[in-house]
Every structure is written in C-alpha cells, then in structure tokens.
Amino acid sequence: MKRYCDSLVIGGGIIGLSCGYYLSREGFKVQVIDSMEFGSGSSGACDDMILLQSKKPGVVLELAMESLEMYRFLHMELGCDLGFKQMGGMILIENQEELAVMEEFVSSQRSCGLNVDIVDREELRRRQPHVSDRFISSTYSPDDSQVDPFLVMKGFINAGQRLGMEVRYREAAVTAEKNGAGRWQVLTSTGCIVEAENVVISAGAWSNIVGGLFDISIPIFPRRGQLLITEKIPPIGETNLWSASYMVTKLRPDLAKVRENQSEYNELGLGFSFTRTAHGNYLIGSTREEQAGFKKLVDYRALEALSRQVAHIIPLMRHVHIIRHIAGFRPATPDGKMILGPWPGKEGLYVASGHEGDGIAMAPITGKLLSDIFTGRKSITNMKELIPRCMVV
C-alpha cells in the first residue's frame, strides 16, 4: 500500500504533534507516524512545566517566553482545556555563594524581559512556610506555568485531524530513500510506503536512530531522568520549587561544592524540582544520567537520593507517601540547544528535536517556527543557533 502526503513527521510526541499541527494549519497535508504508543516516550515521562527561570538569556529564553505567550491562548485555538496553570516558581538559595551567582543570573534574565526577582527570607517564608530554615533567600517569578502534556498532545491531534492531519501510532519508519522525482519514499513497519515531499524527524531521544535511516548522524543522545510521584496532598506553599545548587553547578562548575557521596551525586546528576500537578500529586525530580542509554529502569539508589533530598529541603515531606517512580529520556544535545531546521545537504529533510528538558515548554514555538521555515516566513539565517550544526557528541 502507498500513501501520499506533503510532510511526513516521524515521532508523535508533543514536538512531532506540534509540528504536524502547525504545518496542517498552513495547508500542508501531514502524516505523523510513531513506532510506539501515544505518550509512551518522553512526553509521557516528564514533568509538566513551562519553566522560564532555568533558561539562559539568549535564544532559548526568548523562545521559551514566546512559547509561554502561545500557551496562554492555545486552548482557544485548539478548542480544549490544556490544564494551563500559572503557579509561579521559586529557586531556593542556601548560601551567599549561591546568592551571588543567582543575583547575576537573575539580572541578566531581567534584562531579557523576564519577570523574575530575588526575594528575602521573609518573603520566602511567607510563600513557602514548609521549606527548611536553612535557605536564606530565593528567586521568584510569577510567570512560571504548567500544562498537562497529555491534554496538549490530544489537543494537537484533534485540532490537526480537523485540518486533515493523519496520526498513526505503532508504525515505525524502516527504510528511506528518494525516488526519481526527488520525493522521499519511507517504508514503514506496517508494509506501507509513504511518499512525501518533506520529512521531519521529531523522534526526541530516539532521533539519531531515525536519522540513521537517512544516513545522517544527529547529535542527540538520551539523558535519563527519574521522578517520584506522591499521593495527592494539600498544597505545599504557593509556587513550584527548584534549588539553586543545581543551577549553580550548571552556571559555575568551579563553585560546585564537595558533598557527601560526591561520586553518587555526580553519577545521578541530582537536581531538585518540586511541582504540583493539576490533580494534587507532586512530582519530585530528578536525576540526569548519562550512562543509562535507553534502559527505562528506575533504581533504588535514585529513590533514596531523591527522597533524602526532598526531606532535607521540605521536612514535612517525610510524612508523604511516594506512589510511583518513573524514568524517561531527555533528548539531549552537546550544546544544550534544540535542533530545528533543514538538514544541510539533504533536500526535504528537517529535524525538530533535542529539547532536553524543555520539550513541553517549547512545543508550540517549535511547531510554529518549523511552519514559518516551510512557508518562508522565517529565514533560517535568523536561527543560526538552532539549525542543524556540527557538534561533537
């Protein structure tokens, strides 16, 4: 059997679906395929944050801010509830060293127009009465928001289908070649050949595997994260929480303090995030593991480290039950920026992937930018930092 379309999107996570939707909106005939099931990859194993405060000033922060603005109105465009909520966020600061780094970081973000501030101990206590006394201050941004990734994906599928988009799960790309007319012929695991003018690879952490079918090497690798999920509990404080120690380690590695169990800490890449879902469960994260490959396993060591960490920061959490422990793969790139645009030397081949931990936040803007590239509204010379580039994995 043979199917025809303008654009074949390989990867039906939140990024692929966003690309599919925005391309459909421009009138392209789009088909999305995914080797797995709806939400079975990273879009279903992540937290739900549109976190602006963690972004470095520059293209990533600018796009995240634009994406947040899109999210504010996306439910109207897609015609369904997306669980959008703006709870704000705070990054907890434990000592003067961290404070100095965060003050500099926050002021550079403010100069990019981000609504963020450093607040004193009193305001920290007022907004977060259960946080341990050891924290001396915190950042605060009222803009940090969240959505339900499953509702967003469903929204893109339903709105896309109304525009003629076709979505098929459990259908993998097997081989790819060009025919005499220069159109892609992609053989799939169901025995179909999909003929398409353009192919978009948006397979997240698995993008490089798909890239292999097109003889390209995409510098995206899986960085495993483990998350704990609590029972439903009453709210703890006003906002979602992160810790500065992780941000400082990223921004100023020379200041990273020597800890107990340093090697374990490094291996797990422990960072602190604490976010409340729409249902009242909390997501407690997370690890950043380089060596796990595609093993979607959770381990006891991470469970212990994550539990110890949250009890250290919010002592009350010792009384709360953990009901699940999950793992997922961040699609990571060597320079920490997503890859978006046409692949050099491969006519009609595009990559939209490599968002690491920002896929949920960046989904709308990614699809929008890709459709702008397709329609020529956006020149890729304005997106030098994101277009496929040479990087050493």
Partner 1 sequence: MSRIAEHPILGPLKPSGREVSILVDGEEVIAYEGEMIAAALMASGRRVFRYTEKRREPRGLYCAIGRCTDCVMIVNGIPNVRTCVTPVEPGMIIETQRGIGRWGGGDHGIH
Measured from the CB atom, the residue of 280 and 344 that comes closer to partner 1 is: 280
Altogether, the residues listed in the chain come to a count of: 393
E strands in 157-269: 166-169, 173-178, 184-188, 193-201, 221-232, 240-243
Q: Which CB, 79 or 235, lies closer to partner 1?
A: 235
Residue from 58, 164, 293, 315 in contact with partner 1 (CB under 8 A): 315
* CB distance 283 to 48 below 8 Å: yes
Question: Of 170, 232, 257, 295, which one interacts with partner 1 (CB under 8 A)?
Answer: 232
The pair of structure tokens assigned to 379 is 């020149």
Q: Which stretch binds partner 1 (CB under 8 A): 137-145, 258-266, 311-319, 363-371?
A: 311-319
Gap between the Cα atoms of 334 and 108, Å rounded:
23
- Among residues 72 and 318, whose Cβ is nearest to partner 1? 318
79-83: long-range contacts at Cβ-Cβ below 8 A with a sequence spacing of 24 or more? Answer: 79/155, 79/158, 79/159, 80/151, 80/154, 80/155, 80/158, 81/151, 82/147, 82/148, 82/151, 82/152, 82/155, 83/48, 83/146, 83/147, 83/148, 83/151, 83/278
Q: With contacts defined by CB under 8 A, how many residues of the chain interact with partner 1?
A: 12
Nearer to partner 1, 158 or 277 (CB): 277
Stretch that binds partner 1, among 191-199, 208-216, 299-307, 317-325 (CB under 8 A): 317-325
Q: Helices marked H in 278-357 — which ranges?
A: 300-313
Binding mask 250-289 for partner 1 (x = CB under 8 A): ------------------------------x---------
Contact by Cβ (8 Å): 264, 301:
yes
For tokens 């059997």, the residue is 1
Question: Which of 77, 231, 290, 385 is close enough to bind partner 1 by CB under 8 A?
Answer: 231
Question: What's the CA gap between 287 and 264, in Å, rounded?
Answer: 11
β partners of residue 93: 137
Task: Looking at residues 188 to 207 of the shown chain, list those that interact with partner 1 (rule: CB under 8 A).
Answer: none
Q: Least Å distance between CB 319 and partner 1? A: 5
Asked if 134 touches partner 1 (CB under 8 A), the answer is no
**50-109: contacts with partner 1 (CB under 8 A):** none
| Nearest-approach distance from CB 148 to partner 1, in angstroms | 18
Look at residues 152, 200, 176 and name the one whose alpha carbon lies nearest to residue 38.
152
Lay out the site mask for partner 1 across 321-360 (x = CB under 8 A, - = otherwise): x---------------------------------------
Integer Cα distance of 204 and 210 in angstroms = 10
Cα separation, 353 vs 14, in Å, equals 10
- Of 53 and 230, the one with the shorter C-beta distance to partner 1 is 230
Coil vs helix vs strand at 80: coil
Q: Which is nearer to partner 1, 2 or 319 (CB)?
A: 319
Q: Which is nearer to partner 1, 101 or 283 (CB)?
A: 283
Contacts of 63 (CB under 8 A, 6+ apart): 362, 365, 369
Identity of residue 235 = P
Question: Which of 320, 339, 349, 373 is close enough to bind partner 1 by CB under 8 A?
Answer: 320
Burial class (CB in 10 A: 0-12, 13-18, 19+), 73: exposed
Least distance to partner 1, CB of residue 111, Å:
39
Nearer to partner 1, 2 or 321 (CB): 321
104 CB-near residues (< 8 Å, 6+ apart): none
Residue 234 beta carbon to partner 1: minimum distance, rounded to whole angstroms: 5
**Which residues, 114 to 133, sit near partner 1 by CB under 8 A?**
130
Q: How far is the CB of 41 from partner 1 (least distance, A)?
A: 30
CB nearer to partner 1: give 280 or 293: 280
List 351's β-bridge partners, or say none.
201, 341
Looking at beta carbons only, is 2 or 279 nearer to partner 1? Answer: 279
Query: What's the min distance (Å) between Cβ of 318 and partner 1?
Result: 10
Residues that bind partner 1 (CB under 8 A): 130, 231-234, 236, 280, 315-316, 319-321
